[in-house]
Structures are given as C-alpha cells and as structure tokens.
Amino acid sequence: QGMLMELAGGSVQAGGSLTLSCEVFGSADVNNYFAWFRQHPGREREGLAVIEKGEGTTWYADSAKGRFIISRDNRKPAVDLQMNNLQPGDTGVYYCAAARYLTLSRILQETMYDTWGQGTQVTVAA
C-alpha cells in the first residue's frame, strides 16, 4: 500500500493560517484520490477536502469551503491543505488518506479510503 506521512501540524491563533503537507511514499502514489480528514476527540473522522490525481478535480465539505484549499505537487509527490481563518472549532487531529477507487457520492466518507497517515495535531487558540 505504500505510506502517507503528514507534516507541519502545530498551534496557531484564531484567524491565522496553517498549511499541512502529506508526503506520499512508494506504492501509495498509485492511488487516484487523496483526501484530508479531521477528527475531534470522541468523534468520527470528518472529510474536509479531496483531490483527484489526474485532472486535479477537488471536492470540499461545507465546513472547508472558502477557507481551505487542497492541492497536489506531483513532483514530490505530496498533497497540501492550506487552511485560512482558522477557528478554535478547527482544533483536532488531521489525517491524510488515499483511495484508488471510490464512489463519488461518498467521497468524503472515511470508509472509502484504505491508506492513512498517522495524523498530526492542529490546535487553534482563541
């Protein structure tokens, strides 16, 4: 399956910005869809954004639209999530995930993805 590794979590003040990066290693790059999820304590993972490797088509959850931007650098390869105007409710563990095939109507559901990174903590202070 290869491996995904999230980098660059951290702490930021409310209203600030942070860019997360997910490096894609080995056979994980055969996947067609790359996504970012977020998990609050005691809750299921929430899909935030997805990018399709070939055409670069993107999908966003309502909570991410207008604030988050997902992008892919095919040279590395890596998948970045630029997050703007962060609020305390954005605090959580952020995960990178990948899938080779999925059902588009369920593209933000974690069950569609079979390759996951270890997660990185993002904390937004009020």
Q: What is the pLDDT at residue 119?
A: 96
Checking if the pLDDT of 1 tops 80, the result is no
Paired tokens of 37: 């999820």
Checking if the pLDDT of 69 tops 70, the result is yes
Please give the Cα distance from 49 to 46 (Å, whole number): 10
- Cβ atoms 47, 100 nearer than 8 A: no
pLDDT in tens, 91-112: 999 999 999 999 999 999 999 9
User: Residue 17: left if φ>0, alpha if ψ -120 to 50, beta else—which one?
Assistant: beta
Please give the Cα distance from 44 to 82 (Å, whole number): 22
Checking if the pLDDT of 74 tops 90, the result is no
Checking if the pLDDT of 8 tops 90, the result is no
Q: What is the pLDDT at residue 9?
A: 85
